[in-house]
Each structure stands twice: as C-alpha cells, then as structure tokens.
Structure 1
Amino acid sequence: MTGSFGKAAGKLLRLLARPVRRTRSQGPIVVDTFRGYASHEALFMMGRVIRQPTADRANDYSASASLWNVGRRMLRSGVAGARLIATVEGQKQGLITDRDGYFRLRMRLRRRLAPERRRLEVRLELIKPSQARTSAEVIVAPASSRFMVISDIDDTVVATGVANKLKMISRMLMKSAESRVAFEGVAEFYRQLHEGRDGKEDNPLLYVSRGPWVIYETLEAFFKLHRFPGQPVLFLREWGLRLRPPFIRRDNDHKIEIVNELMAVSPELPVILIGDSGQHDPEMYADVVRSWPNRVRLVLIRDVSPAERDAAVADLARELEQTGTPLILADRSSMMAEAARRLDLIRAGAAPEATVASPAD
C-alpha cells in the first residue's frame, strides 16, 4: 500500500512539475501556447502569460526536484493586463490577457489561405510587462472537409469516472497514457469520421474537456498510443490555484464557450457533437443546436449513466428531433458509427474495430 501510494505521489509530482520545466528557460515571465484551429478564413487559439519564480533545480528530475518545481508552480500566477502582438501571415493583432493571464486569439484573415494549407504558425511577441517571443501551431481544416467533429474526452473517448469526482481527479492526474482506457472501437470510429464518406475528406477532429491543461502532454501521448488520426487539437481548462479567493479558478461555461468559438471559425461546415450522459453534455449540446440552427448534423451521446438519466436524455432527443438534428444515445462505438453511416457521413462497411484497452484500475 505504501509503495503504491509512493508511486502515485511520484507520478503526481512529475506531472505537476512538467509545465514548469517546459517553460523555465524563458525566464520569470513566460508565454504558454496551445495548438489552435483554423479555417481558410479565420483562426482561434488560446494561451497564457505566467509569472513564476526564476530559481529552479536545473537538469534534476529527482523527487525532491519535482517537489521544488511543484512549489514554483504553486507560486506561479497569471499576468493580468499583459500585452502581446500576434502575427499570422503578415497580419498583426494586439492581445491583452484577462485577470488570470489568459488570452484568446480570434482572427479573421484578410487573405484567404491557399486550399492546400494544412498548418499555420502564429508568432507571439510579449511587449508588456516584459519582452518575450514564442510561436504556436494551428491546424487548418482543408478545403476537402465536409464537416467538423467536436468531441468531449472524459467518459466519451477515455473512461475517467467523471460521475465520481474523486475518481475523476485521481485518474486524470495520476494515470499515464498507457494506463488510460480507450472505449472499444472509438479510435477507429474517429478515424472513419476524419476520413469521411470517400476516405479523403480530412474532417477536423477537435476535443474539448474540463480537464486541466497540466494533462495536455499525457492526453497527446494517449491519442498517439491508441492511433487516433492526426495531431489532437485539445482545448482544456486551467485548474491553477490562487493565493487569494476564489482559490480555484471556476470556469463552468468553458466547454460551451469553446464549442461556439470553434463553430464560428468554420461557419460553413456542418458539425457533429459527441459527448457522454454522465454530466451535462446532452443539455449543453441541445443549447448549441438551438443557438446554431441547421448547423448540427448529429449529436452522439455515449451512455455511461443509470437508466433514470437515460429518460432525461430521451426527452432531449425528442425535442431535438423537431429541429431536424438526431440525438443518439449509444453505449457502443459501433452504434455511433451506424448512426453516422445512416446519415451518409462515413463509408458503408464494417463496424469500428476494437482498440487495445488498458486496465481500468
């Protein structure tokens, strides 16, 4: 028992220390960026400007060094009112961080991108309160895309036990990519969505989660391990602690805000929304359908909850049916694939193959 606790604690220390190591070479004020999404006319990405102590334990990855770096992370704070200049294809835009140091770059491109473009580089220059430069990668939806997919992660792609808060936090923070569970067939189903009806559509797959940015690298490794298509475009949430009330940043509207941002980037693309029944995904997606008439082709909800919850989801499905958007409650990836196939969104053929799932505990 003690040994298991020690290993888990060690994993947690290394995980929490990782973002500090990733940016420590940039000095006391750092600009942290996350992969973004673009159409040929617009883009959206997120980042944060952070102040942290400069002292560190260089090239030391021991438990004591991890503890030291965790202490540094606890003392990090977002830099409110920081000013940056973003440059994309020669087009510049000023940015100012919010009270927690976050910025969101929304840019309408003055010149439409060439159809073959698949990636953009966003160059960021911090000009106040200090100076720093960095860049961010943005994935571009190709002209061949016929729809976009916006998916939850927790209990939709990977089993995390979201209904149980303590289990969710434990699994998200302490489990490695190798020990996380991919639902059977989910990677192959997402590959079919990415490839589309003719196998060449390259439809964008975008992931939105209430999980913390600190697990970003672990999730990237998970998607690679389970052979999900492309580089994952992840939009997570900051769980950073503050030294003043409120001590934990609250961001209850995070998911729906990000969904709306992503849909605004590609207003011409139909959308498939994928989530689970464990928390509020069905209700949130119903709001999206109401707010964006005729945009959402299909809502897929993985059934991970008791029967009484299923009844509430069924009521929502009947309501959305009147708008022309099917909401499908499914307990298997193959059922989701069949719903997509009926709407001619993916190729006809075999159901998703099973992916290799790791032990749940």
Structure 2
Amino acid sequence: MHRARERGQVEAVEAYAGYGSTEWVRVFGRVHMVPVAVRRAGRRRFPTLRIGKRRKERSVRGWRGFTRVAVPHAQGFVRIGEVEHPFEADRGGIIDQHIPATLPPGWNTIEFVSADGEVSEAKIFIVGDEQRVGIVSDIDDTVMVTSLPRPLLAAWNTFVLDEHARSAVPGMNVLYDRLIDRFGHDTTPVLYLSTGSWNVAPTLARFLGRNLYPFGPLLLTDWGPTPQRLFRSGTEHKRENLRRLHEEFPHMQWLLIGDDGQHDEEIFGEFAEEHPDAVVGVAIRQLSNTESVLAGARASSSARWRARTNVPWVHAPNGAILMQKLAQLGLLDDDPSAAELVDLSKTLGDRRIARPFPPELAE
C-alpha cells in the first residue's frame, strides 16, 4: 500500500448494490488503491464497477480483481441523504455493514466516501413492508454455464478469462423476467447468492447485465481465512445469508433457485425444513450429464428433501421448462406453450426488461 501511495494512488471504494428495508440498509463495497479519479461535476468520483472506458479495455481478465491493492480496515463514511455514517472495512478491504436509514421502497442511491475523499455511488434496493415474495438465485451453473472439469481450469476461468468466456443458461433470463412481472417488477427483491469472491463482482455484474437478468444485489464472500479454516466455507456462506434474510424479512417468502451440481439442494432443503413458511418454492436447474461430470456433481438429494418438507420443488434443465412447471404450481400467471417460450427467448432483448442492470454494467 505504501508503494501505491508513492505512485500517487488513493483510497477508493468500489461500491456494490445493496438492499434493505424502510428502516435499515445493508451496504457492500471494497476499498482499494486506485489512480486519482477524474473530477466529475466538481467532485472526485470513482466509477462504480466500471473498469476502463471501452469494451476492449473492460474485457478485463479476472486476475486483475485479485491483484489490486486492498486497504485493510479502511475507514470512511456512507452518505445516505444528508446523514453520514462511518464505516470500517475488514482485513480484506470488504465493507458489509448494516446501517439504520429511512428510505422509500424501490431503488435508491447512496454514496461511499473514502478517507481520501473519493466518492462512489451505490444502488440500494429497499423492500417495501407490503412485499411478500422475493427471489434468491445461485449463479454458477444456474444462470451461468461454467463447465469446469478440474480445479486448474476453474482457476483459469476465474483469474484469466473475462465474463465473455462464460455463457448463459438458456431461458433463465426469460424466467426471471416473468417472475419479476408476476411478483412486482418494481418491488420484488432479486438477490444473487454465490460462493464467488467479491473480487469478481464487477465481472459477474457485467455478465448478468449483458445477458438481461434483472438487476439485484450480489451476495458474495471473501476468500480470506477464518479462525477455523484456511478458506471460508462456501456452503456455510449460503446458509448464513439465507438465515439472515429470514431474520431481516420475517414476513416474506422466498423462491430459491439453484442447480443440482453441488450443494444447493441440501442448503435449500435444510432452510425449507427449518423455515417452511419462508419458502414459496424451490426451482432446481438440472445439469446435463457432461456438466455433472465436469462439475463433480453428487447424487441429487431433492427427493429426500421433498419428502421432509412441505414445499413445492421443480426440476428442469433450462428456464423454459422451469417456467412451465412453476406456472403449473401457480407461481406464474400462465403456462406458455413451447413455441411461445422460444419466441420469448428470441425477443427478450427487444421487449421491456423488468429491471435491467445499469447500462454501464451491461456493456
């Protein structure tokens, strides 16, 4: 960090989307050293999740997110309206903070201000008191195909290839668009719960935006050690965040969307067993035989959890069939035909997207 200072770099917050209720917010960010930002409208601003000015510059290889100098225990403040709240990052420079605030339902904008005065904006989705259903979605192999055959290739995809090297699961963006329409496109929270590191948040946000998924906060993790282990547990990260969402929104039910490649069925099943009234349904994307082998998938445990919980489960290899099955459960308004689903998949880019990612994230 001292050398970064000598090169003229300053502390700045890479701000991520957060969420909250009408009484509090949960904000996310990462503090690291960057070249002095340009002044915009008389104030220095660090571009949120923006790396480079052109696609060629932003076709960034993932390792850059891991080589930037993080600022351990950095301090600054979060500005919400006219009120400023102090923050302190953890030893990895990650900000994950619960702050009392009064904001209206829907999307709001807050500001992070670093110790060096760099300002960055973050979008915060406020869940209204009347909202009853939300969506929690996995990312890898649920909305994004990775097909990683071994740890070496997984590392290659994480550290070297950019988001254009990954492909979207067919029909899932249409499914999410329809779900948002069903539950309220301005009011439904969509949270992407992944075991991925915060270092790749910009890459994931660009992927989701470019593939027309509804805008929503990412719930990622830090790769740093814990007192119990060298690396954090991804499965425990998911369990903890599901429990936290239930505690934060006890009046809500969640549609849980994942895949049968690793632990989603077990994690969702445990949560549904503990809190059956908090789960409106579970949708599992079935991996192909090749994807299952490459992902090291275990035998499906959904039958066991279906028998132990009074929660509807649906399984399908893509978003189109999941859409049909969810419609049969009454979680969508109608049951579109196969031809209609194909047409929806082809025309989604030309129709109204329920809640698009900001344009700068989708480029």
Normalised to the residue count of structure 1, the TM-score between the two structures is 0.70
Q: Does 1:33 align with 2:33?
A: no
Taking the aligned partners of 1:177 and 1:308, their CA distance within structure 2 comes to 23
Name the amino acid aligned to 1:280.
Answer: H
Taking the aligned partners of 1:164 and 1:71, their CA distance within structure 2 comes to 22
What secondary structure is seen at the aligned counterpart in 2 of 1:227?
coil
Taking the aligned partners of 1:346 and 1:224, their CA distance within structure 2 comes to 23
- Structure 1 residues 289, 73: CA separation in 2 closer, same or farther (over 3 Å shift)? closer
Q: Does 1:332 align with 2:324?
A: no
What secondary structure is seen at the aligned counterpart in 2 of 1:28?
strand
Whether the 8 Å CA contact 1:275–1:300 is kept in 2: the answer is: yes
Cα drift, residue 302 of structure 1? 1.4
Taking the aligned partners of 1:60 and 1:107, their CA distance within structure 2 comes to 33
Cα drift, residue 60 of structure 1? 12
Root mean square deviation, CA, Å: 4.1
Q: Which residue of 2 aligns with 1:86?
A: 78
Cα drift, residue 76 of structure 1? 2.0
Q: Which residue of 2 aligns with 1:224?
A: 209
Unpaired segments ≥5 residues, structure 1: 1-24, 357-361
Spell out, residue by residue over 1:80-107, the C-alpha distance to the aligned partner (whole angstroms, 9 max, x if none): 3x33332323444333322322221213
Whether the 8 Å CA contact 2:260–2:297 is kept in 1: the answer is: no
Whether the 8 Å CA contact 2:135–2:188 is kept in 1: the answer is: yes
| Residue correspondence of structure 1 range 97-176 to structure 2 within 5 A | 97-109=89-101, 111=102, 113-114=103-104, 117-127=105-115, 132-141=118-127, 145-161=131-147, 164-176=150-162
Aligned residues: 310
- Structure 1 residues 157, 171: CA separation in 2 closer, same or farther (over 3 Å shift)? same
Taking the aligned partners of 2:222 and 2:273, their CA distance within structure 1 comes to 28
Taking the aligned partners of 1:49 and 1:308, their CA distance within structure 2 comes to 36
Taking the aligned partners of 2:185 and 2:144, their CA distance within structure 1 comes to 26
| Residue correspondence of structure 1 range 230-269 to structure 2 within 5 A | 231-239=215-223, 250-252=232-234, 253-269=236-252
Unpaired segments ≥5 residues, structure 2: 1-6, 37-51, 347-363
Cα drift, residue 35 of structure 1? 1.0
- Structure 1 residues 200, 215: CA separation in 2 closer, same or farther (over 3 Å shift)? closer
Q: Which residue of 1 aligns with 2:195?
A: 210
Whether the 8 Å CA contact 2:16–2:28 is kept in 1: the answer is: yes
Taking the aligned partners of 1:255 and 1:48, their CA distance within structure 2 comes to 20
Name the amino acid aligned to 1:153.
Answer: I
Name the amino acid aligned to 2:238.
Answer: K
Q: Which residue of 2 aligns with 1:318?
A: 307
Name the amino acid aligned to 1:118.
Answer: G
Identity of aligned residues (%): 24
Structure 2 residue aligned with 1:299, among 282, 285, 290? 282
Name the amino acid aligned to 2:266.
Answer: E
Taking the aligned partners of 2:170 and 2:120, their CA distance within structure 1 comes to 39
Name the amino acid aligned to 1:211.
Answer: G
Taking the aligned partners of 1:246 and 1:35, their CA distance within structure 2 comes to 29
What secondary structure is seen at the aligned counterpart in 1 of 2:301?
helix
- Structure 1 residues 274, 71: CA separation in 2 closer, same or farther (over 3 Å shift)? closer
Cα drift, residue 256 of structure 1? 2.7
Q: Does 1:42 align with 2:42?
A: no
When structure 1 is superposed on structure 2, of 341-350 and 247-256 the one drifting more is 247-256
Cα drift, residue 258 of structure 1? 3.1
- Structure 1 residues 78, 248: CA separation in 2 closer, same or farther (over 3 Å shift)? farther
Name the amino acid aligned to 1:96.
Answer: E
Name the amino acid aligned to 2:305.
Answer: L
When structure 1 is superposed on structure 2, of 89-98 and 33-42 the one drifting more is 89-98
